[in-house]
Amino acid sequence: MFQGRLSVLSLVRDEAERGTKRFPELKALAASIMDGKTAMIDDLTEEEFGIIASLPRKFSDTDRACIAVAQERSMVLATDDEDILAEAAKRGIEAFETEDVLEEAAKTIGPKRVKEVLVDIVSSGADKEFRELKLNK
């Protein structure tokens, strides 16, 4: 499913760093970025800017950039946003939800460690905030 290490746009890094108070699950992503375990994508191509311009304005700049990079570079997109998942499917972009990522992680790190991660997410309250966001769409 995932080859190499996780890559994120610098826009995502900025959102992760700003969003750790509201979404505690972003702490792990922010830490991974700070530790150099996550590859950064800072520069977009002209083709990616063209894709961004063609995407509906209902998506944030960050979301449009992620879709564009995933499409242009044939990368996997990980998100729990239903609208982004639908757009990815329309564009033929391989996309996974958090649950899918955890399933794949279980194959690599084992079910016990995945359960520990889930306990951390539930303990942080992040799952409730995420569910609430999905319900209020």
Is the residue at 49 inside a domain? no
According to DSSP, the residues that pair with 40 across neighbouring strands are 8
Supply the range of the domain harboring residue 119.
Answer: 98-137
Is the residue at 63 inside a domain? no
Is the residue at 61 inside a domain? no
Is the residue at 92 inside a domain? no
pLDDT of residue 51: 95
For the chain, what is the domain count?
Answer: 1
Nearest-angstrom CA–CA distance, 107 and 103: 7
Is the residue at 109 inside a domain? yes
Nearest-angstrom CA–CA distance, 35 and 6: 13
Q: What is the pLDDT along the chain (137 residues), one digit of tens a residue?
A: 444 455 667 666 666 666 556 656 556 666 666 666 666 777 889 999 999 999 999 998 888 998 999 999 998 888 888 999 999 999 999 988 877 776 776 777 777 877 776 666 666 555 555 455 444 44
| Residue 6 DSSP label | -
